Structure 1
Amino acid sequence: MTDESGCVRLPVEAVHDLAFRVLRHAGMSEPHARAIADVVTAGQRDDCQSHGLYRLLIITHTLRQGTVSGTATPVVHDRTPAVVAVDACSAFSPLAFEVGSRHLAEKARTVGIAALAINNCYHFSALWPEIETLTAQGLAAMAMTPSHAWVTPFGGGTRPTFGTNPMAFGWPRPDRFPYVFDFATSAAARGEIELHRRAGRPIPPGWGVDHAGHPTTDPDAVINGGSMLTFGGHKGSALSTMIELLAGPLIGDLTSLDSLERDGGAGGTPFHGELVIAFSPALLGLGDTQGDTQRAERLFDAIVDQGARLPSQRRFAARERSLKEGVPIPLDLYHEVKALLD
């Protein structure tokens, strides 16, 4: 059954079951299939269409290329009291994060601040599910990762050099949704441009340029031979460079240029590393946890009381609707995903 918007609505559990079955059918081990199903279900539940079930099309395509492992067991390296590294062994990142985040949270609660380096992973997901894993444990957290070189640098750049290079931050809030932002340092996520292309809709000005460097609203021109742009001009370009360095050479992993070169035109998921940092407010503060929490809440109240919106409020509202009314899935996408079981 479809609703008035042309979407199929399924319970969250049914969405997860569909994703899990597709991934198992594609040859993934049960732990990987479950971890990835968790992530894409969360994206669909929160109406993050570019990071929901749509990602199954890309994941299964990458699996067919034969470069990504659907069965590798992540290897944990406990380096110092404040640093843990996980080798994903050329598999997708969700299971590596799931394993590594347990060590990361324990270290942060013990020493105050800790870092998780995930190496040799294929990363496709949004970062907010990872951040929310840590805020649910009372920790503040940051995450960042490069991707493929799709974005041209600001100030005369003519060639794709950066990835979309997302970064995310989360702050725990007692008895309510956390404060979370998650955004690409490109003007838009790659998946958003792809969704516009699939729907035959132009992209907004400022998202990309064509092969000659001319501004364009044609998503095909950006994806096929063109380049994406950073947000905020030189500021987004500088942040993108920082992420390339911190989540690349700093942790012994690839840049977005390296990742795209390694892909060799196959159109697969980016291959690189990820850096996650967790902070314990209890240990980094001066012992007045209640006062610190009140000061943070006063800040959030000052934002919303004047009519401004906190990041992720739209997503959290979509989550609550999905839990009550079912998860909306565009009919065409639903049939495409179901076809992956054939």
Structure 2
Amino acid sequence: MSETVLLSLEEARSLSLTVLQHNGFSPAHAEAITRSVVAAQRDECHSHGLYRLIGCVETARNGGMDTQALPLLHDQAPGVVRIDAQRGCSLLAFETGLPMLIDKARRQGLAAMAINRCFHFSALWPEVEAISSQGLIGIAMTPTHPFVAPAGGTRPLLGTNPLAFSWPRPGGTPYTFDFATSEVARGEIELHRRAGESIPSHWAMDAQGEPTTDPTAALSGAMRTFGGHKGSALSTMIELLAGPLIGDVLGHETAPANIEGTGKPLHGELVIALCPQAFLGSDADYHLRHADTLFDNILEQGARLPSQRRFEARERTRRYGMSLPKALVDELNTLTN
């Protein structure tokens, strides 16, 4: 078993801020990124936790984003907020536009926020939970670089294209899901490679289009969509809604930043907020409580709700701190030198 290191939430936060600020990120960007990766690590979402700082710093060093960019907020239409990230990380852009998005949704029932020209690397659930924490329903989606073959294909074309949803629950944790439309998040394959572990053969294909259990071969080949043609269709929907609809690029028109400076890592994100009170008026509380009967019936069957394990992990971290591979902490510390 690999050696581990125990960090408190404050230690994890301090490490993240130090890594980012040492590598040229403005205080505002460093804080926004840290809030996301520490939240993921706190909830034991390892593929989107502190590990993501490595790729974030590498992208910045290769000129793939502007670490000092100030997002530009546009009141695009009565129900639309537009944020030009100006080649910066999506997280600060999201936080910049969130108050206007919430205000529009409360006044009109629903509103959308388009984030353009952003570098996006993070989990989506912290964003939709920021919306549900305000009593609204949150939906978010974004395309990624072309790592995934469409159902029936063998070559990368689609992104892992995650979709997230969060429903507020009075007096309880929200009902939240956040999943890639690929069989697994690409970060999971990368973590298996780092650990020297094989992957299930249905996750990906090698460069010859054959199923593989080798994570290195998978990363140079093509990932699969979940559920065959169903995941492929959902992935295509996300490409369209968070690409052409908001005036941004498709996933296959992007590429990771590289040392040669030829990468094109920027793309778009679409965030939607819906207000139960605007839809239902004084009946909103009743119908939100009614919705809980669905969740109760799921649990009564012995099934679990999405994010249930994440909320349990959050409590463990609060009590005992977070356990990380020592090799990862050592690598992060080298980024501060």
Q: What letter is aligned with 2:111?
A: A
The residue matched to 2:164 in structure 1 has which SS?
strand
Residue in 1 that maps onto 2:80: 83
Decide which of 298, 303, 312 is 2:307's aligned counterpart: 312
Conservation of the 8 A alpha-carbon contact between 2:17 and 2:34: yes
Runs of 4+ in structure 1 deviating by more than 3 angstroms, as ranges, are 261-270
CA drift at 1:32: 0.3
CA distance in 2, matches of 1:217, 1:6: 25
Residue in 1 that maps onto 2:230: 235
CA distance in 2, matches of 1:268, 1:42: 29
CA distance in 2, matches of 1:247, 1:237: 15
Conservation of the 8 A alpha-carbon contact between 1:122 and 1:269: no
CA drift at 1:46: 0.6
CA distance in 1, matches of 2:166, 2:334: 36
CA distance in 1, matches of 2:257, 2:2: 41
TM-score, normalised to structure 1's length?
A: 0.95
CA distance in 2, matches of 1:259, 1:78: 27
CA drift at 1:260: 2.1
What is the aligned-residue identity percentage?
54
CA distance in 1, matches of 2:133, 2:73: 23
Within a 5 Å distance, the mapping from 1:247-258 to structure 2 comes to: 247-258=242-253
TM-score, normalised to structure 2's length?
A: 0.97
CA distance in 2, matches of 1:335, 1:264: 23
Q: Does residue 204 of the first structure (1) align with residue 200 of the second (2)?
A: yes
Q: What letter is aligned with 1:194?
A: E
Residue in 2 that maps onto 1:138: 135
Residue in 1 that maps onto 2:49: 52
Q: Aligned in 2, Cα 1:211/1:267: closer, same or farther, shift over 3 Å? A: farther
CA distance in 2, matches of 1:196, 1:265: 27
The residue matched to 2:85 in structure 1 has which SS?
strand
Conservation of the 8 A alpha-carbon contact between 2:125 and 2:177: yes
CA distance in 1, matches of 2:244, 2:235: 14
| Runs (5+) with no aligned partner, structure 2 | none
Q: Aligned in 2, Cα 1:130/1:261: closer, same or farther, shift over 3 Å? A: closer
Q: What letter is aligned with 2:284?
A: T
Decide which of 280, 286, 289 is 1:285's aligned counterpart: 280
* CA deviations over 1:84-111 (Å, ceiling 9, x no partner): 0000000111000001111111110110
Decide which of 158, 161, 166 is 1:165's aligned counterpart: 161
Q: Does residue 328 of the first structure (1) align with residue 290 of the second (2)?
A: no
Conservation of the 8 A alpha-carbon contact between 1:62 and 1:269: no
| Runs (5+) with no aligned partner, structure 1 | none
Q: Aligned pairs, how many?
A: 337
Conservation of the 8 A alpha-carbon contact between 2:154 and 2:205: no
CA distance in 1, matches of 2:300, 2:215: 38
CA distance in 1, matches of 2:76, 2:61: 34
CA distance in 2, matches of 1:303, 1:202: 33
CA distance in 1, matches of 2:259, 2:250: 15
Give the root-mean-square deviation of aligned CA atoms.
1.7
CA distance in 1, matches of 2:183, 2:263: 22
Q: Does residue 217 of the first structure (1) align with residue 225 of the second (2)?
A: no
